Amino acid sequence: MRFYKLISYVFHPLLFSFIGSFIYLLLTPKHIVKKQEYVLLLIIFISTYILPVFLLVLLKKLNLIESYQLESIEERKFPILFFIILSFMVGLLLLNIEIVQLLAYSFFGISLALSATYLLFYTKIKTSLHTLGIGGILGFVIIMSYEYQLNFNIIIAFLFVLSGIIAVSRLKLNAHQPNEIYIGFLMGMITQFISFQFYHSI
């Protein structure tokens, strides 16, 4: 059980935006200098991890949530709404840096996936944010491989295995029903493809 908890903490949903951005800057052809990469990663880390953590701490202090795991749908609504807006704003910021537009549209994909997650709350489905996050990264790496004509097959295979480990961990911890695991993974991946279509249509 400790292993499953460790996996859930190491691959926390709040970290996936930063991880995806790091992978993008690491694997794709160099568009910007190293110093700019560090600044970009710092902005993304503060925006998508530090700010949401502060929000969760504040909500906990105000007794608006019972735990940082956001176990109920009601507890998830405001943080998800906050992250939808945050992801969209980060996407707009990156869009102004023309050399990382593909990364910008990845954030729009995240925002779209979270919007779908929010809508599903009204059907009493608590989508797994862990599998949504890893599904999004997997979809984005597939897109990068296609866009830049680079062979990322080993990385893609690894991410598929990691997706399975994360999914099993969430099930073993009784955090989600199987359908919530599958929905999260598919939404994370498919919304990246949808966003990529918009990227190529403009």
Q: Per residue in 86-129, pLDDT tens?
A: 999 999 999 887 778 899 999 999 999 999 999 999 999 999 99
Q: Could you give the angle at the alpha carbon of 17 between the alpha carbons of 113 and 97, nearest 5°?
A: 100
Q: Quick one: tokens of 187?
A: 């939404």
* 152 within 8 A of 96, measured Cβ to Cβ: no
Domain holding 95, by residue range, is 2-201
Name the domain count of the chain.
1
Q: How far apart (Å, rounded) are the C-alpha atoms in residues 92 and 76?
A: 24
First to last CA, the chain: 47
| pLDDT attached to residue 202 | 65
pLDDT digits (tens, 9 = 90+) for 122-174: 999 999 999 999 999 999 999 999 999 999 999 999 999 999 999 999 999 98
> Percentage of residues in the chain with pLDDT exceeding 70?
99
